Amino acid sequence: MTQPTADRGAFVASARAFAAAADLDEVATRLLAIAAEHTGAETLALYLHDQAQATLEPVATHGVMPSRVSFAEAAHPAVRCAVSRRAIRLDDATPRLFLPLTVSPEGAEELVGVLAAGFVAGHCPGAAEEELLGALADLLGVAIDRARLLRAALERSEWFDRIAQIDPLTGLANRRTFDRVLELELVRAARQGTRVTVALFDIDGLAAVNERDGAAAGDDLLRRVATALTETVRLVDTAARVGSDEFALVAPGSAGAAVAERVVTAMARDEAAGEPRIRLSVGVAAFPEDGGTTDELLAAAETALHAAKAGGGGRVSVANAKGG
């Protein structure tokens, strides 16, 4: 095979590996295999620069199992390569070549890793082999940068998805999440022939607290109720903040009323411990007897909540199939 044909084969194989690989591990493994085939390198190692730990972490290898390298090992050729951002060539008994992997986001060069290649005794890589390894190092640098960008995009997406589901003040589920969970639980209960209970909580007198003591005091009461819910509900339950002073609970089975009573009791314990008094009015409704749809069930729970408030507040009122 002539040199141009070999170079063309390496280029085609590298381009295809880069385009087809799904993640960094896969593309790195393929590119190292190509490098070994077309340069005669006996061993290859891709080190990832961990800036936080000040280390070079081996993430892909061919024919060798290297260890992590600390930047404290200043004499190590991989560290010398990373610090100088220049190729380090060792033409000794076992020739080795270390190449820096860099990217230039917004024009500023950034080290992302090091490519290390080892050759059999007596075989020093020529200019063509070094050039090919340099090109593969450039590809690996881009692959690392692409993997980091994808990971950052995924983390950002997960963060946005989380804040879209969570009430920022209390850390509970928000109304959107509550509605989705309730709908799913009703579908499951209908399929399995089981029950689901819903409880609506209203803080009695929150508006007066906001007026008298300020919004910060009102926010503190909301967080205290959220804490009581979090510490009281079961793992299968979903607690949510669904309004300015309203909370809700989706409880698979028949335990919704009992959980609601425990929350009211927990708030009474807070008062006994010297915390400002919080009175909760709670309305509870159950599927299927109080409603066969989310709208019907929530309407029944709302009616029960109004009954609890009309009875003086600070109590749990349970709906029934007759609307009582």
Domain boundaries, the chain: 3-163, 175-318
Instruction: Compare 264 and 321 and report the one with higher pLDDT.
Output: 264
CA nearest neighbour of 301 among 320, 322, 284, 323: 284
Q: Name every residue whose Cβ is closer than 8 Å to that of residue 132 and which is 6 or more positions away in sequence.
A: 7, 10, 35, 38, 39
- Give the confidence band of 5 by pLDDT, cuts at 50, 70, 90: very low
Q: State pLDDT tens for residues 200-233.
A: 999 887 777 777 878 788 888 899 899 999 998 8
Distance of alpha carbon 227 from alpha carbon 24, whole angstroms: 42
Judge whether residue 76 has pLDDT over 50: yes
CA 144 vs. chain centroid, Å, equals 20
pLDDT value at residue 94: 86
pLDDT value at residue 146: 84
* Cα atoms found within 13 Å of the Cα of residue 311, Cβ hemisphere only: 16
Percent of the chain at pLDDT > 90 equals 45
Tell me if 3-163 shares its fold with 175-318.
no
| Torsion (CA) 80, 83, 84, 87 in degrees, nearest 10 | 50
Judge whether residue 2 has pLDDT over 80: no
Pairing state of beta strands 69-70 and 316-318?
unpaired
Mean pLDDT score of the chain, rounded to an integer?
85
Distance of alpha carbon 297 from alpha carbon 194, whole angstroms: 15
Q: Name every residue whose Cβ is closer than 8 Å to that of residue 173 and which is 6 or more positions away in sequence.
A: 165, 166, 167, 181, 238, 239, 240, 241
The most confident of 103-107, 154-158, 190-194, by mean pLDDT: 190-194
Q: Nearest 5°: phi and psi at 227?
A: -65, -45
Percent of the chain at pLDDT > 70 equals 86
What is the greatest pairwise CA distance in the chain? 95
175-318 CATH: 3.30.70.270
Strand (E) positions, the chain? 43-50, 55-62, 69-70, 88-90, 96-103, 110-118, 196-204, 238-241, 246-252, 279-287, 316-318
Compute the average pLDDT of residues 111-119: 94
pLDDT value at residue 291: 93
Q: Which fold has domain 3-163?
A: Beta-Lactamase (3.30.450)
Q: Is-contact 309 281, C-beta < 8 A?
A: yes
Q: How many H helices and E strands in the chain? A: 9, 11
